[in-house]
Structure 1
Amino acid sequence: GTIATFDVKAAAARRSTDVTVEQLGKAAQLPWEQDGPRWHLQDRIAHTGQPCRWEGMALKFVLDLLGKQKALAEPNWNHRSTVEVKGQTGSGWFLHARTGGEWLLALCFRVKKNTFESDSLDQQLGLLPLDERDDIQAYGRDPRVKVRNLKTPWQEVTVKVWNREEIDNTAFRQFLQTAVDGFLKQSQQERANPDDLMPWKQLGRKWHLMRKSLPKNGRIGWQFELLEKLLPMVESALPDSTADYTIRSKINWARQSDSVHVAELHTKRADGVDLVLLCAHDSITVGAIAGFGTEQDIRRHRDGRDAVRIRFTTAKQCEQKGLKEFLRETGKTLADRG
């Protein structure tokens, strides 16, 4: 009979059913992707490479309690070392359960700022430091409850747990309910007033002493450090006025007695820091301000007053002779009649 020869080209030809190595890698699911609850509650491996010692039932207990909260979404298990619980609508995460610790499960909650205080919450939950637990073969004097106010309107609360028994009590349930309420309250507030999340609203005065939001990627034509000298001088000169630091590019001062706008300091301009004093018409001449800053002018404001503007570009200009006295005297005048 005829002997069949091996056809190299035919064997090498690609078939429609062939799978590449790359496709095979994409198709293979990681354990937490294949069965998230099983991975985090039973099979999880710590960051150290060792099996986790903390009790998986502790995490299940917490998630079961949160599952009764209609305002919270189902847990997201699809991460190697974090189980996430979010609100049903917006505002980010409420719980990050960090499951990669060998000895302790770290429950990190995000709530409204000032909802909790570290010492009182630590006392309420009664979670002893590891050094005081004979049944845990790990050591540490640090408290297992930490509360941290963020620069935003939020607070982060971290509770480190060994097993279900130590949190299956009234104190922890009360804490969890307060935490949920604190999260939902801040979430609702943010949806109602999204502008309140802007950094200048959150940081206030500090925002104006930061380089953030400067034009030209921060390549400005003036010495940024001059703000740290000039701002306190203006504040001292206007003790009877209230400063509004929550505007993106300037600070406004309003007289306390009648809320009339009397001064402003522009902190985010490219060519300099502009101080504008709103004075009675013809009460100040250009000659009186000619020795201050690098640029001066007086223009009629829309309400009939004069807008007296002085531009500063160097920190040394804040030490110019007579400047402090001029600001103090003008501040007294603005307090009286604007």
Structure 2
Amino acid sequence: LDDLTPWKVLGKKWHLSRKGFPSNKRVKWEPELLERLASLLDAAASAPLHWDWGNKQVAHAYLSESDTGSPWASIHTKRREGVDLVLSSPAGKFSLGRIAEFGSERSITPSKGKLEQISIRFTSLPQLTPPPLLTFLQDYYAGVTS
């Protein structure tokens, strides 16, 4: 029965759809924003990412198909206010100043072990304009895979 949920059946289409948000509330971002962000993450990685679109509110990108640990990147797709990108990084690797120009909101918070979470909220397509964001994501990829 669990495998018949819309997010399991539809995968990426579920996350791009306007279903799954609180009813009667306007979503403040365009679906193209999510597609462009996923493409930007793919472009930043020097090897193909393996996406898991089978969750209700979040899509995870892994560095390999057999990866069962923390995702390389997670995108929260069912928040009305924006699309939230979450990256897990070694603590102290990136400063808040490095991400200060990205998105509409951003934070770096301690996470489990020696990791911290970098969170960036995107609300419009112009916020995804490379190259500064792409360069940061490439540096993040290099820092996590080295």
TM tier relative to shorter chain? 0.7 to 0.9
**C-alpha distance in 2 between matches for 1:305 and 1:265:** 18
2:93 corresponding residue in structure 1: 283
1:310 corresponding residue in structure 2: 120
Letter in 1 for 2:69: V
* Distance apart, 1:302 and its partner CA: 2.2
What is the correspondence of 1:253-272 to structure 2 with a 5 Å cutoff? 253-256=61-64, 258-261=67-70, 262-272=72-82
1:295 corresponding residue in structure 2: 105
Letter in 1 for 2:44: A
Q: Which moved more, 1:288-297 or 1:301-310?
A: 301-310
Letter in 2 for 1:252: H
Letter in 1 for 2:3: D
The share of aligned pairs that are identical, in percent, is 37
Letter in 1 for 2:43: S
**C-alpha distance in 1 between matches for 2:73 and 2:107:** 15
**C-alpha distance in 2 between matches for 1:241 and 1:279:** 17
* Distance apart, 1:221 and its partner CA: 2.7
* Distance apart, 1:278 and its partner CA: 0.3
Gaps of 5+ in 2: none
> Which runs of 4 or more aligned residues in structure 1 lie more than 4 Å from their structure 2 counterparts after TM superposition?
none
1:190 corresponding residue in structure 2: none
In the alignment, structure 1 residue 232 sits paired with structure 2 residue 39: yes
2:56 corresponding residue in structure 1: 248
Deviations 1:28-51 (A, max 9, x none): xxxxxxxxxxxxxxxxxxxxxxxx
**C-alpha distance in 1 between matches for 2:55 and 2:7:** 6
SS of aligned partner of 2:24: helix
Letter in 2 for 1:326: F
Deviations 1:41-67 (A, max 9, x none): xxxxxxxxxxxxxxxxxxxxxxxxxxx
> Larger RCO: Structure 1 or Structure 2 (Cα < 8 Å, ≥ 6 residues apart)?
2
Letter in 2 for 1:233: L
For normalisation by structure 2, the TM-score amounts to 0.87
The structure with the larger Rg is 1
* Distance apart, 1:216 and its partner CA: 4.2
Pair 1:225–1:216, CA change in 2 (3 A): farther
**C-alpha distance in 2 between matches for 1:200 and 1:330:** 28
Letter in 1 for 2:24: N
Q: CA RMSD in A?
A: 1.9
